[in-house]
């Protein structure tokens, strides 16, 4: 008889149950690292040892490939799942959305812009009328490139959630947004103070546990787009980042630790994208930095966050970063929970050593208020010359016109000069401002009143506006001996002004229309002379205007002088210049301007070449209303670059 082998069962003891539970839990952690790791990173700010566990889980997941299996599973489920989930409660989406069928052609298909620009120029060279359809010259969108492209789009297309038109109502609003720092501590006392001191509507919106590191949890760019579109704020005060001291995942699900170069690059670009949305309708932005923190390594990571926020503000027009690290610290720069006031211990920080109390918020507010007051003084409440808020004393009696005897032009050339008033500083950097076609230097006083004087005083710069001739196009003409304006500016205006005015040899250049062409062209032809350059409604491709505005009168017929035309065309000049040499650019174009297409072509070409460019499109029915709206933005952009450049030079000396 054959003996049957006795089958014995293994008893499931408590210890074995615990082992099975631990193994199962670990496998689940590996499958869901995308959600688990950020949670562990947040906990590691309180318990540093957890960061070691997080790193171990992440490395094990990468080796085991379980994360890829989970992603594949999710893809399959998504493909076969029904549109309606049983038991799902539909939630109204409060954010305006791009309609189905509308395509983001500007960034996803840059080749269409190249095709459009080439077709436009080929049509001109063939002496036919260029025709560009909307499909070939689509409006821009604000889709960010988070991987580090230098170029930034300041505005969005009409199909985007931000209204493109310049607001003309008198609904003057201050918007305060951010994370828990705005919900409690700083936000409430700041809102109350601004409401009591200024005739503005003050709106505050704070969201707990939000930031820029986890857009999958809360999308601040999307929310800010909605708020800007709804309220058209004049000033935005932002405090964000307390929840950002954690790892960041890029679009390919690659993970980067706080402080790493890639982490800083991605976070800075996310911050810049948020600022571009904030400033897209002309608002000034103050980004309040985070105070000193009491936990390590969390405090060190917050310093990385603040560095990136400051860098984003430095590289974005109309923004300012305010460092608050020392406000709630001891005189030695150390963290403290309490301060002494009238022989009393005043609590400044919450028990978590992160958040601030009302008393701490009040100290932060007191530190911010001088900057807020200063920014409010620069805000033009209405966008027309007749209705501009009278923020400065008139300096009409201080109007200065300097005549420069020019052997090159064979005439004395008048230059309107705007010098800061009531300032003790001895010397200032310079902004060279070029007028448009058919005008002279007198147009600035006629159309802007005292605005340029006010801006020169506020920004501590000297503005020089030369008479460039009504049709010079700021070129050296081979046909007209007395139209050598480029040589005049480079060889005569600059040295003369350095002798006669309280200025230093730090220059930026800006212009409108023909002057916008001149500013960008001279900036590209002489990049070492200028710290920054900008154009408002600039003509950026002369090649598509062979029979307009008398350009051929100074350069000759395009068919006979194509190389000369290209040498004065900004669109062609950027082909032959090293990106390291190009000064930072700001380009603004009215959606109703005839130069819109060439501005879009220039922007996309500059983006492809990775040049340092900021670009905006906005709509206004009146030409000078648009220019008056843009001038403070452009002058603020140059002032920031000039003063930063001057500080670097002094440090090097």
- Is residue 103 domain-resident? no
- Is residue 85 domain-resident? no
Strands 585-590, 503-512: pairing kind: unpaired
Domain endpoint, select from 37, 54, 77: 77
Q: Which residues contact residue 77 at a Cβ distance below 8 angstroms, ignoring those fewer than 6 apart? A: none
Residues 596 and 648 in one domain: yes
Residues 353 and 428 in one domain: no
Question: 165: domain CATH number?
Answer: 3.40.50.1110
Sign of torsion over alpha carbons 478, 480, 482, 485: negative
Domain endpoint, select from 59, 77, 95: 77
- Is residue 139 domain-resident? no
Residues 351 and 413 in one domain: no
DSSP one-letter string for 488-552: HIIIIIHHHHHHHSSEEEEEEEEEETHHHHHHHHHHHHSGGG-S-EEEES----GGG-TTSTTHH
- Rounded to the nearest 10 degrees, the angle between the axes of helix 298-314 and helix 261-279 is 50
Residues 351 and 498 in one domain: no
Determine how many CB atoms are found less than 10 A away from the CB of residue 439: 21
Length of the chain: 653
Give how far the C-alpha of residue 340 lies from the chain's centroid of Cα atoms, to the nearest Å: 40
- Is residue 82 domain-resident? no
- Rounded to the nearest 10 degrees, the angle between the axes of helix 110-125 and helix 596-608 is 130
- Is residue 88 domain-resident? no
Residues 281 and 324 in one domain: yes
List 335's β-bridge partners, or say none: 329
Determine how many CB atoms are found less than 10 A away from the CB of residue 261: 8
Residues 437 and 346 in one domain: no
- Low-confidence stretches of the chain (pLDDT beneath 50): 77-78, 80-110, 127-170, 380-397
Domain endpoint, select from 77, 107, 124: 77
Range of the domain at 197: 153-376
Residues 367 and 427 in one domain: no
pLDDT at 622: 84
Place of tokens 């007028």: 435
Residues 408 and 352 in one domain: no
- Is residue 393 domain-resident? no
Place of tokens 């001291």: 245
Residues 363 and 413 in one domain: no
Ordered alpha helix ranges (H), 32-81:
33-44, 49-64, 66-80
pLDDT at 191: 93
- Is residue 559 domain-resident? yes
Question: 613: domain CATH number?
Answer: 3.40.50.1820
Residues 610 and 492 in one domain: yes
Q: Which residues contact residue 94 at a Cβ distance below 8 angstroms, ignoring those fewer than 6 apart? A: 226
- Is residue 5 domain-resident? no
Count of domains for the chain: 3
pLDDT at 528: 93
pLDDT at 73: 63
Residues 539 and 634 in one domain: yes
- For residues 66-83, one letter each, b for 16 or more C-beta atoms within 10 angstroms of the residue's C-beta and e for the rest, the string is bbeebeeeeeeeeeeeee
What is this structure's pTM? Answer: 0.56
Residues 418 and 345 in one domain: no
Please state the φ and ψ torsions of residue 448, each to the nearest 5 degrees: -110, -5
């Amino acid at each position: 008889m054959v003996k049957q082998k006795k089958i014995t069962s293994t008893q499931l003891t408590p210890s074995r149950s615990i082992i099975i539970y631990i193994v199962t839990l670990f496998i689940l952690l590996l499958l869901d690292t995308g959600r688990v790791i950020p949670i562990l990173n947040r906990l590691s700010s309180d318990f540093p040892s957890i960061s070691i566990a997080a790193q171990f889980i992440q490395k094990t997941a990468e080796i085991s490939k379980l994360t890829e299996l989970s992603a594949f599973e999710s893809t399959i489920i998504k493909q076969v799942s029904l549109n309606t989930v049983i038991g799902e409660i539909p939630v109204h989406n409060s954010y305006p959305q791009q309609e189905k069928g509308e395509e983001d052609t500007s960034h996803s298909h840059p080749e269409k812009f190249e095709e459009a620009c080439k077709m436009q120029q080929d049509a001109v060279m063939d002496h036919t009328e260029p025709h560009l359809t909307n499909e070939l010259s689509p409006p821009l969108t604000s889709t960010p490139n988070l991987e580090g492209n230098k170029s930034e789009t300041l505005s969005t297309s009409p199909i985007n959630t931000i209204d493109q038109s310049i607001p003309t109502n008198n609904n003057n609003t201050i918007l305060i947004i951010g994370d828990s720092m705005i919900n409690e501590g700083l936000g409430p006392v700041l809102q109350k103070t601004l409401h009591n001191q200024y005739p503005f509507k003050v709106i505050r919106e704070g969201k707990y546990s939000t930031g820029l590191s986890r857009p999958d949890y809360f999308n601040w760019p999307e929310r800010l787009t909605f708020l800007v579109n709804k309220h058209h704020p004049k000033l935005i005060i932002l405090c964000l980042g307390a929840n950002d001291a954690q790892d960041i995942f890029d679009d390919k699900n690659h993970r980067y630790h706080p402080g790493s170069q890639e982490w800083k690059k991605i976070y800075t670009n996310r911050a810049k994208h948020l600022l571009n949305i904030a400033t897209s309708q002309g608002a000034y932005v103050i980004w309040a930095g985070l105070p000193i923190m009491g936990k390590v390594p969390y405090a060190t990571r917050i310093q990385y966050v603040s560095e990136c926020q400051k860098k984003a503000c430095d590289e974005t027009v109309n923004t300012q970063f305010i460092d608050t690290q020392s406000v709630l610290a001891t005189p030695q720069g150390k963290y403290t929970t309490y301060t002494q006031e009238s022989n009393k211990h005043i609590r400044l920080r919450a028990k978590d050593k992160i958040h601030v109390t009302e008393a701490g918020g009040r100290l932060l507010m007191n530190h911010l208020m001088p900057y807020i007051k200063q920014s409010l003084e620069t805000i033009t409440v209405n966008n027309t010359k007749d209705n501009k808020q009278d923020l400065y004393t008139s300096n009409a009696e201080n109007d200065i016109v300097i005549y420069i005897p020019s052997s090159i032009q064979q005439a004395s050339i008048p230059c309107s000069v705007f010098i800061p008033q009531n300032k003790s500083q001895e010397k200032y950097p310079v902004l060279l401002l070029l007028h448009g076609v058919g005008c002279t230097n007198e147009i600035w006083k006629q159309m802007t009143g005292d605005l340029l004087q006010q801006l020169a005083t506020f920004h501590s710069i000297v503005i020089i506006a030369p008479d460039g001739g009504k049709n010079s196009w700021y070129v050296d003409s081979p046909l007209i001996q007395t139209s050598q304006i480029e040589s005049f500016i480079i060889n005569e205006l600059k040295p003369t002004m350095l002798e006669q005015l309280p200025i230093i040899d730090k220059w930026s250049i800006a212009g409108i229309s023909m002057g916008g062409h001149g500013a960008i062209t001279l900036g590209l032809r002489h990049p070492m002379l200028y710290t920054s350059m900008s154009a408002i409604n600039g003509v950026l491709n002369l090649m598509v205007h062979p029979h307009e505005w008398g350009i051929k009168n100074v350069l000759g017929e395009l068919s006979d002088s194509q190389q000369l035309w290209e040498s004065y065309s900004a669109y062609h000049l950027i082909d032959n210049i090293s990106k390291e040499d190009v000064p930072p650019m700001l380009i603004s174009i009215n959606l109703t301007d005839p130069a819109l297409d060439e501005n879009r072509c220039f922007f996309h070409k500059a983006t492809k070449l990775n040049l340092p460019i900021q670009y905006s499109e906005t709509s206004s029915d009146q030409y000078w209303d648009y220019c008056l709206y843009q001038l403070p933005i452009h002058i603020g952009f140059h002032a920031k670059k000039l003063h930063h450049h001057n500080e670097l030079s002094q440090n090097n000396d």
